[in-house]
Amino acid sequence: MTTNVLKSLLDYKADLYNRPEFIPDDPVSIPHRYHKKEDIEIAGFLTAILSWGQRKTTIRNASRWMALMDDAPYDYIMNSTEEDQKRLLSFVHRTFNGDDCLYFVQSLQKTYLAGGGLEKLFSPSYPERQMDMGTAISRARQRFFESPHLPRTNKHLPDPCKGSAAKRLNMFLRWMVRKDDRGVDFGLWKRIRMDQLRCPLDVHSGTVARKLKLLSRKQNDWQATEELTASLRELDPDDPVRYDYALFGMGIYENF
């Protein structure tokens, strides 16, 4: 397949799936319930953390987490008391349990009280704007886990510097940063450019990418994420991650 044919195919498929009709059956539907920036990014972050396994299960359990926070995530993060937060101990999603849930909420509270919220946490610092997103994610993870916590909770935030593909965080960053006229991604954050994003890589997008010769590495790790994003950047230097829609859609809906 020539580069022009490949680009035409992926442009068509990205256009096909990057539509509002995509939203209801996807975890991105959870942050779409809200209108305030802080509610959207908190709901998006927590939903992304739960996004492994079946999407229906992720949506159901993310909805339950939002309900435990009175469907007002930012207000709950900022104003809930220790007594309020005890209700979170009942939460379970696969291996993510109530202790993990409680720490995430308490760490988010400290993040917002410090100023800048999640956008500042994940953004490369201004003197280092050329910092790659893998390093930025790893540094965000370090800051998020600065407070005392159970070692088991660490596994719920992946670390690219340890080789993880960090699919869920790259998906969350796509939601927050990408801006177009389609209404799926939010485009709320200004500190990160679209060309700095990395393509979320999972079994579906990886399988399609390898069939299309966009990815040669066999493992779905950070090195593969970088390779795939570099291939997509050749097709669209300014917004390579928009092709995530094409790869994911072809894998999930077309069994490509």
The answer to whether 240 and 225 have CB atoms below 8 angstroms apart is: no
Cβ atoms of 191 and 129 within 8 Å: the answer is no
Question: For residue range 95-120, what is the model confidence (pLDDT) as tens digits?
Answer: 999 999 999 999 999 999 999 999 99
Helices (H), 114-242: 117-122, 133-144, 167-177, 203-211, 222-235
172 falls in which pLDDT band (50, 70, 90)? Answer: very high
pLDDT more than 90, % of the chain:
94
- Judged against a pLDDT cut of 70, whether residue 127 lies above it is answered with no
- Looking at residues 222-237, what average pLDDT do you find? 98
Q: How far is CA 107 from CA 25, 67, 111, 133, in A?
A: 29, 19, 6, 21
pLDDT-wise least confident of 79-83, 176-180, 223-227: 79-83
pLDDT in tens, 26-55: 999 999 999 999 999 999 999 999 999 899
Of residues 98, 110, 101, the one with CA closest to residue 147: 110
- Which secondary structure element, helix H or strand E, spans residue 248, and what is its range? helix 244-252
Give the residues across from 96 on adjacent strands.
93
